[in-house]
A and B are shown apart, each in its own frame.
Chain A
Amino acid sequence: MNVSTSAHLGSGSMEPAELPARGKEHASLQQTLRAYGMLAALVVIWLAFDYATDGVFLRPRNFSNLMRQTAVTGILAVGMLMVIVAGEIDLSVGSLVGLTGMIAALAQANYHLGLAPTLLLACVVGMLIGIVQGTIAAHARVPSFIVTLGGLLAWRGVTKGTSGGVTIPISLDTFNSIGQSYLDRSLGIILATIAVLVIIVRECRSRVARSRLGLPTLTLTKTIARALGLSVVLIALVAALTSYQGIPIPVLLFALIALLGAFVMSNTTFGRYLYAIGGNREAARLSGINTRLWIVAVFGGMGLLAALAGIIYTARVGSASPDAGMLLELDAIAACVIGGASLMDGRGAVFGACIGALLMASLDNGMSLKNVADYIQDIVKGGILVIAVALDMLGRKRAT
């Protein structure tokens, strides 16, 4: 994942008055610390659960499960991050997961559609709903909180209505395999090798390009350390998954979406516009940015990702229930916020949101392994969400 380019992971301070220019070192150090802090928290949680479960937690079988659980929340978190960065919110994604999953199930059960038309239908519906909600938020100036709160209720109602309130089983095995099967082991290894090569090539090309433009480059040791570090983490992940059954398809899809999301946010005009809109919408508008268009677009993207998450979720369970995906919007928002995104202004990075999603899923998985009662799980997750953000805010204030 793209750590190096996430300028928004955490930024420095917002001084009210004029201060003399201060080094970037300050802000970037803080960013790096926050990223490492999150990773460290994740590792600590993993080790604690592993200890508490006598080593079951990090066993390949459970690890594979954990990653698969992360996929749905993670995909939603990537979309949610983009929405949050633009200064908006989408509360309807849980209901959209349920609705798009139900549409996929009904398309097979009642209309005998094949795999491709089923997927296409679910994705188009998800995206259209996102576009409609975004249009209402951007053009009718209804706050997105309200529009999508309405969506949360309405789309759940539509799901219940179309299903008649009963769970619809999935009939296509090919559809179920999207949620249940694994990438062939050798393919996984080939993919990992390619990924490592890409990492190395990217680092080299970046060095060459930067020195050609006369920009400062990292020292050679640092470059090697960075490429090596990323590669080791990647290989370890793939090795752990491969030692069980291989890379689960949902995990592969999540990884691709996260990479794409990180690329969009840091390397495209669209991503830059979203940060600008969230940072100061009036300034963005006065810089000639069509703020309404991009708000509609980001909600459309969110709808599409919710449909993908709905497909994976439904395929994993093998059926679409009218209650599927409930409260997933909150998990996705929590993942973003734990990952350093701010609901106040356009801060946040895809990498952080993904780690946040992994953290939330780890809590779920670990506590379930320990047979922690449902209600305590909720209390712990709620508490950790608030504590994580409080620590982050305190850290920010001190840095000011």
Chain B
Amino acid sequence: MKEPDSNSHSPRHAPLLEMQAVGKSFPGVRALDGVSFDLFAGELQALVGENGAGKSTLMKVLGGVYPAGEYEGKIVISGAEQHFAGVRDAERAGIAIVFQELSLVPQLSVAENIFLGRLPTRAGLVDWISVHEKASALLKRLGVQMPTDALVATLGIAQQQLVEIAKALSHDGRILVLDEPTTALNDSEAKALFRILDNLRSSGMGLIYISHRLEEVLYLADRITVLRDGRSIATRIRGSVDRHQLVSLMVGREISQVFPDRNRTPGAPVLEVANLRVRHPVIPGRYVLSEIGFEVRAGEVLGIAGLMGSGRTALLNVLFGSFPERTDGEIRVAGIAVDLQGPGDAIRERIAFVTEDRKRFGLSLIASVLENTTLAALPGLAMGPVLRRHEEVAVVERSMKELRIKASSPDTIVGTLSGGNQQKVVLARWLLTKPRILLLDEPTRGIDVAAKQEIYRQIDELASRGLALIVVSSEMEELLGLCDRIVVMHEGRITGRFNRKDATSEHIMACATGTVNPA
């Protein structure tokens, strides 16, 4: 590792990029609140923070995904203020972003992907010789050997990422943003990537590196900026901060009094999991989940903490029979081993699953509250195949009242409701199946505080009624406020287990970032 070039930070040089007091609001959420951030040429700066801290939103502002006017504050590049109308403008200004989900076209070649939409032409025809020449020149600059006519679909993730970086360079990018570039890479691939990033930094580019992996950040970055709740909390120079300090900067916040008081006494174990193991569907030798074991008792809320990609959603899907890959290990419901082949099996075992991303996995937005609410419990509301419609309406009206779903009638189209009310519709659906185990994945994402509070109240009440609940959440305070016990996952393993009274944000974050060795 080279030492950071201390000259590059001196005031004599104007920064390559300045983002000044950037703010961005979504309905009900202040995603960015006066974030200031600067980047020098020849610097690699890391951006860290919890899920939802505002890193991606900030980069979308920078990348022109949210055009000028949709955010507050200023973007200044080499002293000139920028007003991007779209992604193209940002590209022209030299900003290149490699997102976590690669944006390559798998059916096209490496060279075609690099110059997608800008293939050099001669007399109106694509000049293929020049395409491949330019592409291999770019790849050479990265120090990569790769046939430029290979189809991207045939490349591994690591190589695809390099193509993406080459594409960024082909725009004459001066600022390169990498969002979680190493999540899909193995160690040697990651090391190769770091060498390339080092070269780019020496060549005078400015790099922004977003990662949950603090060891990488500490190893690579010249400076580290911490975002929390849409604000820039601190910027630290290399060597002046360690992991634990970073972790406390990332979490440090107080738990507001939105959580109901808990006085529950857990009963017998309802769900027991032992030695759960699932292979990664694509990367050989890697596991989505390994050696997972825990139990949940009646009347107990178990929290699962972990960063994105830690396997927490996969775990819930396995427990609901909806994970596409083969699962090894044992799942016991009320003491009896079960083999869950699909959601139908899980529902018969009275397991319910409030999925994450209600718009993708939860609701039919064009259908009514009624249709969405009774979907999983229809057989109980029918005589044979014929629905008892009036009774169905009555049941839904009761659910709407209990969960305080604000919709003018059961016939209201779900897509017109607020996020909080949509989420309550999903919850209502599952409560109608009379579950004894309720799995909730990010149950309060993207909903306003009042709706959050009501969902918390419901969760607490369901636990007091004797249900066993598992809550997956990225919000630390939610886990600490709701759960009796918390397990922490990191890269498919459980790296920490806490009772409510021993758990702190710092401990959890340390386990979630792999800073602590598996307990």
Q: Closest residue of chain A to B420, judged by CB?
A: A18
Smallest CB-CB A-B distances: 5 pairs = A279-B364, A18-B419, A288-B347, A24-B412, A213-B394
B353 with A269: CB separation less than 8 A: no
Give residues of chain B (377-419) contacting chain A, Cβ–Cβ below 8 Å: 378-379, 382, 385-387, 389-391, 393-394, 397, 406-409, 411-413, 415-419
A275 with B407: CB separation less than 8 A: no
Q: Which residues on B sit within 8 Å (CB–CB) of A23?
A: 408, 412
B362 with A18: CB separation less than 8 A: no
Q: Please, how many angstroms separate the alpha-carbon atoms of A209 and B355 in the complex? A: 35
Q: Which residues on B sit within 8 Å (CB–CB) of A21?
A: 406-408, 412, 416-418, 421
A347 with B322: CB separation less than 8 A: no
Which of the candidate stretches B133-141, B195-203, B244-252, B366-374 sits at the interface with the other chain? Answer: B366-374
Known interface pairs A19-B418, A21-B418, A213-B393; A268-B366 also in contact (CB < 8 Å): no
Q: Please, how many angstroms separate the alpha-carbon atoms of A28 and B408 in the complex? A: 12
Known interface pairs A272-B371, A276-B364, A286-B355; A22-B391 also in contact (CB < 8 Å): no
Which of the candidate stretches A5-13, A125-133, A243-251, A331-339 sits at the interface with the other chain? Answer: A5-13
B416 with A13: CB separation less than 8 A: yes
Among B353, B409, B419, the residue within 8 A (CB) of A286 is B353
Task: Provide the B105-128 mask, 1 if CB < 8 A to any CB of A, else 0.
Answer: 000000000000000000000000
B378 with A15: CB separation less than 8 A: no
Among B347, B363, B397, the residue within 8 A (CB) of A280 is B363
A19 with B366: CB separation less than 8 A: no
Q: Which residues on A sit within 8 Å (CB–CB) of B366?
A: 8, 11, 14, 279, 345-347
Q: Which residues on A sit within 8 Å (CB–CB) of B394?
A: 213-215
B260 to chain A minimum Cβ distance, whole angstroms, is: 24
B371 with A7: CB separation less than 8 A: yes
Known interface pairs A269-B378, A269-B379; A282-B387 also in contact (CB < 8 Å): no
Q: A213-B393, A286-B353 are in contact. List 7 more A-B contacts (CB 8 A).
A: A7-B368, A8-B367, A11-B366, A24-B407, A206-B390, A267-B387, A279-B366
A267 with B389: CB separation less than 8 A: yes
Q: Which residues on A sit within 8 Å (CB–CB) of B27?
A: 17-19
Give residues of chain A (283-326) contacting chain B, Cβ–Cβ below 8 Å: 283-290
Task: Provide the A207-247 mask, 1 if CB < 8 A to any CB of B, else 0.
Answer: 00110111100000000000000000000000000000000
Q: Which residues on B sit within 8 Å (CB–CB) of A25?
A: 408
B86 at interface, CB cutoff 8 A = no
Q: Which residues on A sit within 8 Å (CB–CB) of B374?
A: 272
Q: Closest residue of chain B to A278, judged by CB?
A: B364
B26 with A286: CB separation less than 8 A: no
Among B26, B344, B411, the residue within 8 A (CB) of A24 is B411
B281 at interface, CB cutoff 8 A = no
Known interface pairs A21-B406, A27-B412; A276-B367 also in contact (CB < 8 Å): yes
A19 to chain B minimum Cβ distance, whole angstroms, is: 6
Residues of A whose CB lies within 8 Å of any CB of B are 5, 7-8, 11-15, 17-28, 206, 209-210, 212-215, 267-270, 272-273, 275-276, 278-280, 282-290, 345-347
Q: Closest residue of chain A to B370, judged by CB?
A: A7
Q: Which residues on B sit within 8 Å (CB–CB) of A12?
A: 413, 415-416
B360 at interface, CB cutoff 8 A = yes
Q: Please, how many angstroms separate the alpha-carbon atoms of A6 and B355 in the complex? A: 29
Among A26, A212, A269, the residue within 8 A (CB) of B416 is A26
A17 with B364: CB separation less than 8 A: no
Q: Which residues on A sit within 8 Å (CB–CB) of B379?
A: 269
Q: Please, how many angstroms separate the alpha-carbon atoms of A278 and B375 in the complex? A: 13
B446 with A290: CB separation less than 8 A: no
B367 with A279: CB separation less than 8 A: yes
Q: Which residues on A sit within 8 Å (CB–CB) of B462?
A: none
Q: Please, how many angstroms separate the alpha-carbon atoms of A11 and B329 in the complex? A: 46
Task: Provide the B419-458 mask, 1 if CB < 8 A to any CB of A, else 0.
Answer: 1111000000100000000000000001100000000000
Q: Please, how many angstroms separate the alpha-carbon atoms of A273 and B381 in the complex? A: 13
A173 to chain B minimum Cβ distance, whole angstroms, is: 37
A283 with B362: CB separation less than 8 A: yes
Q: Closest residue of chain B to A263, judged by CB?
A: B386
Q: Please, how many angstroms separate the alpha-carbon atoms of A274 and B319 in the complex? A: 26
Q: Please, how many angstroms separate the alpha-carbon atoms of A270 and B386 in the complex? A: 9
Q: Which residues on A sit within 8 Å (CB–CB) of B411?
A: 7, 24, 27-28
A6 to chain B minimum Cβ distance, whole angstroms, is: 11
A352 to chain B minimum Cβ distance, whole angstroms, is: 15
B218 at interface, CB cutoff 8 A = no
Q: Please, how many angstroms separate the alpha-carbon atoms of A272 and B367 in the complex? A: 10
Give residues of chain B (283-321) contacting chain A, Cβ–Cβ below 8 Å: 320
Known interface pairs A270-B385, A288-B347; A210-B419 also in contact (CB < 8 Å): no
Known interface pairs A24-B407, A269-B385; A275-B364 also in contact (CB < 8 Å): yes
B481 at interface, CB cutoff 8 A = no
B416 with A290: CB separation less than 8 A: no
B376 at interface, CB cutoff 8 A = yes
A288 with B429: CB separation less than 8 A: no
Q: Please, how many angstroms separate the alpha-carbon atoms of A168 and B53 in the complex? A: 74
A279 with B353: CB separation less than 8 A: no
A18 with B418: CB separation less than 8 A: yes
24 contacts between A and B (CB under 8 A): A5-B389, A8-B366, A11-B366, A18-B28, A18-B419, A18-B447, A19-B27, A19-B417, A22-B417, A23-B408, A24-B408, A25-B408, A26-B416, A27-B416, A215-B397, A267-B386, A267-B389, A269-B378, A272-B387, A276-B367, A278-B364, A285-B343, A286-B343, A286-B362
B78 to chain A minimum Cβ distance, whole angstroms, is: 34
B427 to chain A minimum Cβ distance, whole angstroms, is: 13
Q: Closest residue of chain B to A12, judged by CB?
A: B413
B418 with A20: CB separation less than 8 A: yes
Q: Which residues on A sit within 8 Å (CB–CB) of B368?
A: 7, 11
B68 to chain A minimum Cβ distance, whole angstroms, is: 19
Q: Please, how many angstroms separate the alpha-carbon atoms of A26 and B409 in the complex? A: 12
Q: Closest residue of chain A to B26, judged by CB?
A: A17
A269 with B382: CB separation less than 8 A: yes
Known interface pairs A11-B366, A13-B415, A346-B364; A276-B375 also in contact (CB < 8 Å): yes
A230 to chain B minimum Cβ distance, whole angstroms, is: 19
Q: Closest residue of chain B to A215, judged by CB?
A: B393
Q: Closest residue of chain A to B389, judged by CB?
A: A267
Q: Closest residue of chain B to A28, judged by CB?
A: B411
B160 to chain A minimum Cβ distance, whole angstroms, is: 25
B492 to chain A minimum Cβ distance, whole angstroms, is: 22
Q: Which residues on B sit within 8 Å (CB–CB) of A270?
A: 385
Q: Which residues on A sit within 8 Å (CB–CB) of B320?
A: 286
Q: Closest residue of chain A to B448, judged by CB?
A: A18
B39 at interface, CB cutoff 8 A = no
Known interface pairs A268-B382, A269-B382, A276-B375; A283-B26 also in contact (CB < 8 Å): no
A214 to chain B minimum Cβ distance, whole angstroms, is: 7
Q: Closest residue of chain B to A205, judged by CB?
A: B390
A274 to chain B minimum Cβ distance, whole angstroms, is: 11
Known interface pairs A11-B366, A11-B413; A268-B386 also in contact (CB < 8 Å): yes
B361 with A286: CB separation less than 8 A: yes
Q: Closest residue of chain A to B347, judged by CB?
A: A288
Known interface pairs A21-B408, A215-B393; A285-B413 also in contact (CB < 8 Å): no
Q: Please, how many angstroms separate the alpha-carbon atoms of A287 and B425 in the complex? A: 13
Q: Closest residue of chain B to A264, judged by CB?
A: B385
B365 at interface, CB cutoff 8 A = yes
Q: Which residues on B sit within 8 Å (CB–CB) of A290?
A: 342, 344
Among A24, A212, A284, A285, the residue within 8 A (CB) of B409 is A24
Q: Which residues on B sit within 8 Å (CB–CB) of A267?
A: 386-387, 389
B2 to chain A minimum Cβ distance, whole angstroms, is: 45
Q: Which residues on B sit within 8 Å (CB–CB) of A269?
A: 378-379, 382, 385, 387
Q: Closest residue of chain A to B365, judged by CB?
A: A14
Q: Closest residue of chain A to B29, judged by CB?
A: A18
Q: Which residues on A sit within 8 Å (CB–CB) of B417?
A: 19, 21-22
B346 at interface, CB cutoff 8 A = yes
Q: Which of A273, A280, A345 has the most CB of B within 10 A?
A: A280
Q: Please, how many angstroms separate the alpha-carbon atoms of A18 and B28 in the complex? A: 8
A27 with B364: CB separation less than 8 A: no
Q: Which residues on B sit within 8 Å (CB–CB) of A346?
A: 364, 366-367
